[in-house]
Amino acid sequence: MVALALGSAVGLSSGPAAAQAQSELDRARSLFRQGLSLEAAGNWAAALAKFDEVGRVKLTPQVRFHVARCNEQLGRLNEALGEYRMAEYEAGEQNLTDLPAITQARQSLETRIPKLVIQRGAGAETAQIELDGVALGEKEIGQPVSVDPGPHRIVAKLSLDREFEQSTVVKESETAQVVLVAPASLGAAPEEPPTTSPYAAATPGKNGSPAEARRKPTVLPWVIGGVGAAGLVGSGVFYLMRQSEKNALDEVCRADNVCPASAKDKQDKGQLYTTLSMVSLGVGVVGVGVATYLFISGSQQRREQALVPLDVAALPGGGAFTVRGRF
């Protein structure tokens, strides 16, 4: 450890120091020495804070090693393992003499990291699972997941308002297994409400004869009416755009409607806006008409006729449109 600490100090002083202010590097060396002193005293949290500050100035493999060592002593084994691996890779790339010590620390830690296997049980077959507040992917369910030693909280979400949780404690080097079983108090998931027609069917009267059908409106007329209203608004917008292009053409074209080649783009846009305006108008008229009909008609037969598909199409040249359908 003493040799690696000395190597760390050397690592801080190497490299392109000209790219950084000398005062910054001097401060980093001072922080590094403070971190080593805190390590020796066993104050791992304070030492980690010092090494993190050093890393913001110059993050060398040696600094990573000490960050990893502090995390390891604080019980953050997975975070420590990641830092060991990064330090080992960078030390190998730079051919540092510290590489064997880093490799030994990494290998020793790997055998201590516990695993947790989470499986779905009865009532939780389709649950979304969170481990310590982090959602697990489907590939992680039923497979060993590396965790830190200590308590862990598992939440199984069955629906938006139905969930349950389970806690477990995992020790170093062990592989624990948790099977999530939904408690009986949650009960079965509520069934989806049946799809209803726009109006309720006729119900028997007091004497057994069918009573007048009660109308039960749904969102369908509103949706169709909204589409129709949007079509009318769109038609107006496209008409204004058409007029804008027409006014621009009038300024550059002669009285005999002969226009320069540069005006072709405006002519094409004018024709396009004319077509879109007419089509939008057709959609708007049909949508508003069908919505109005659905509001005032409660007959099953007429409703089926109203829902016959409608075709809206612009005629060649964009000067008119056709509408086909029954309502």
pLDDT band at residue 220 under the 50/70/90 scheme: confident
Nearest-angstrom CA–CA distance, 51 and 44: 10
Phi, psi angle pair for 193, to nearest 5° = -65, 140
* Tokens 């003499």 belong to residue: 97
- The two beta strands, 128-131 and 150-159, are antiparallel
What does the pLDDT read at residue 312? 53
DSSP state of 212: P
High-pLDDT (> 70) share of the chain, %: 71
Residue 154: in which H helix or E strand, if any? strand 150-159
**Does the structure show a pLDDT above 80 at 204?**
no
pLDDT band at residue 28 under the 50/70/90 scheme: very high
**Does the structure show a pLDDT above 70 at 24?**
yes
Nearest-angstrom CA–CA distance, 116 and 149: 10
Which of 114-118, 284-288, 296-300, 320-324 shows the highest mean pLDDT? 114-118
SS3 call for 169: strand
Nearest-angstrom CA–CA distance, 129 and 111: 27
CA 237 to each of CA 274, 275, 303: distance values in angstroms, whole numbers, following the listed order: 11, 12, 32
- The two beta strands, 115-120 and 162-170, are unpaired
Q: Which two tokens stand for residue 140?
A: 């992680």
What does the pLDDT read at residue 271? 81
The dotted CATH code for 2-13+20-110 is 1.25.40.10
pLDDT in tens, 131-165: 999 999 999 999 999 999 999 999 999 988 899 99
Domain ranges (residues) in the chain: 2-13+20-110, 115-183, 220-324
What does the pLDDT read at residue 10? 40
Residues 6+ apart with CB under 8 A from 83: 64, 65, 67, 68, 71
**Does the structure show a pLDDT above 60 at 209?**
no
Give the Cβ contact number of residue 201 at 10 Å: 11
Nearest-angstrom CA–CA distance, 264 and 187: 69
Query: What is the average pLDDT across 255-284?
Result: 76
N-terminal to C-terminal alpha carbon distance within the chain: 88
Nearest-angstrom CA–CA distance, 214 and 230: 30
What does the pLDDT read at residue 219? 72
What does the pLDDT read at residue 283? 81
What does the pLDDT read at residue 163? 92
Answer for the pair 212, 251: CB distance below 8 angstroms, yes or no. Answer: no
What does the pLDDT read at residue 14? 46
Residues 6+ apart with CB under 8 A from 240: none
- The two beta strands, 145-146 and 115-120, are antiparallel
> From the centroid of its chain, how far is CA 258?
55
Phi, psi angle pair for 179, to nearest 5° = -110, 120
What does the pLDDT read at residue 125? 93
Give the Cβ contact number of residue 194 at 10 Å: 5
Query: What is the average pLDDT across 165-182?
Result: 94
What top-level class would CATH report for the domain 115-183? mainly beta
Nearest-angstrom CA–CA distance, 103 and 232: 72
SS3 call for 264: helix
